[in-house]
Amino acid sequence: MRTLTQVKSKSLLILTAAIIVLCAGFVIISCGTGPQQKVELLDEGNYAVDFSSASTSTSSSEEIVGTIWIRKSLANKDLPSLAGTEFTIEAMIKSKATTLNGGIFSHYDSGGVLMWVADNTPKFGIRIPTTGSSNDPSNKYTVSGSSTEIASGDWTHIAGVLVNEAHSHTATSSCTAAAMAETPHLDLYINGQFKDCASTGSQFAVDPTYDVNKERMGIGQLVATKPYGYGEYTKTDFDVDYSYDESAYVNIATRFEGIIDEVRLWTTARTATEISSCWNKELGIEGTCARTSDLKGYWRLNENKGALVHDFSGNVFNGSKKEITVAIPINDTNQTDNIMPSTGYPSTTPASWSYGWVTGYPF
C-alpha cells in the first residue's frame, strides 16, 4: 500500500511538472482561468515582406501604398523618441523594379527621420521644422549612397547613423573634414561598409510635429508632409522620388517596389565595427551580435501569415500591415510646390493587408 501511494504521488508530481513546463515553455498553449486563445508563432522561418504585392489602384488620381504601421506597445508603452539622441536604422532590401523608389523606414512629417531609396540611390536623412509658413518649410539634411549599389534581384543592407562624435572616414564631396568633425553628423553604410557622411548643421533630429504621427513609425512607408486634417500637403518633403522640378509631375506616395527584411532601430550610434560584423546576421541574445538595451525595435518579418508583425527587441512595438490609399499630387506650375488636396491622405480608412509574405532570406 505504501508503495502504491508513493507511485501515485510521483505520478501526480510528474504530471504537475509537465503542465508547468507546457504553460511556461510554449507560446501555443496558455494556462489559467477564463477564455484561452492560441497565440500565433512569432518566427516561422526564412520570410520577408514584398511591399510591391499590395493592391494596385485603377484610378489616375490615387495610389495604394503598402506599409507596416508601428504603434504603442501592448503595454501602452510610448514609441522611443529619436529627438536629441544618437540612433541607427538598419534594413535589408531587395528591389523588384528596374528603378526603385520608396520609403524604407520613417518617423516624420514636417520633422523627423526617414530612410528611403530614390532612383536606386539609398538615402538617409533628418528634417528640422522651421516656423512662419503654413507649409512648414524645414531644414533637410541627407546623406546618399550610389545608384549602382542597388541592383534588381539582389539583397542590399542599408544602415543610417546619426552620430554625435567626430571621427575620420574617407573624404568625399559631402563627407568633408568639417562634416566628419561635426557633432552630430550623418553616416551611411551599405552592406556593412562605410559609404558617405554629411552635415546636419550641428542639429539633432526631432520627433514628428503632428499628433497623429508622433505615435506612429512606418516600415515601407512614404507619406506626405502632413497627415489628413492638417491642411495642404507639399511635394518637397525629402525629394524622395526625383530631384525637385516644379514643372514635372512627381508622385510623393510611390509604393516600395521591392522586399524589406530585418529592420532594426537602435538609440545609439552603431560603430563601423558593429555594423560590419552584424549586418548579415540575425541578432541573438548574447555574443557579438546581441540584442542590447539600445535596441528599441527589431522586426525580423518572419511571420509568413496574417497582418501582425512582431518586435523582437523585447519592447513589444508590434506592427500592423496596412494598405493606404493616397491621392496623387496635383501638378500646378503656378504653385511653388506641387500640392496634394487636404482630403488626400488617407482618402479611405487603411485596410488590413495579410498577404505579401515571401520566402528568400537575405542571409
- The C-alpha atoms of residue 74 and residue 36 are separated, in whole angstroms, by 18
Domains, the chain: 1-39 (no CATH), 43-359 (2.60.120.200)
Task: Print burial letters for 70-88: b (CB count within 10 Å at least 16), e (below 16).
Answer: beeeeeeeebbebbeebbb
How crowded is the C-beta side of 32, counted as CA atoms within 13 Å? 8
- Residue 122 has φ and ψ, to the nearest 5°, of -70, 140
CA-wise closest residue to 325 among 102, 54, 112: 54
- Cis bond upstream, residue 129 (ω within 30): no
pLDDT in tens, the chain (363 residues): 444 444 445 444 444 444 444 343 333 333 333 333 334 557 888 999 999 888 876 566 667 778 899 987 766 788 999 999 999 999 999 999 888 888 899 998 778 898 998 888 999 999 888 765 555 567 889 999 999 999 888 999 999 999 999 989 989 999 999 999 999 999 999 999 999 999 999 999 999 887 777 888 999 865 544 554 555 444 444 555 433 333 333 344 467 889 999 999 999 999 999 999 999 999 999 899 999 999 999 999 999 999 999 999 999 999 999 887 766 555 444 344 444 444 445 556 778 899 999 998 888
pLDDT of residue 233: 46
pLDDT of residue 111: 84
Is the pTM higher than 0.95? no
- Residue 125 has φ and ψ, to the nearest 5°, of -155, 165
CA-wise closest residue to 242 among 97, 119, 100: 119
pLDDT of residue 23: 40
In the chain, the N- to C-terminal Cα span, in Å, equals 61
Residue 168 buriedness (CB in 10 A; 0-12 / 13-18 / 19+):
exposed
pLDDT of residue 162: 98
Which cell is 318 given? 508590434
Sign of CA dihedral 79, 298, 162, 165: positive
Sign of CA dihedral 237, 224, 101, 204: positive
CB 218 within 8 A of CB 200: no
CB 218 within 8 A of CB 105: yes
Beta bridge partners of 298: 264
CB 253 within 8 A of CB 46: no
295 contacts: CB under 8 Å, gap ≥ 6: 264, 265, 266, 283, 313, 314
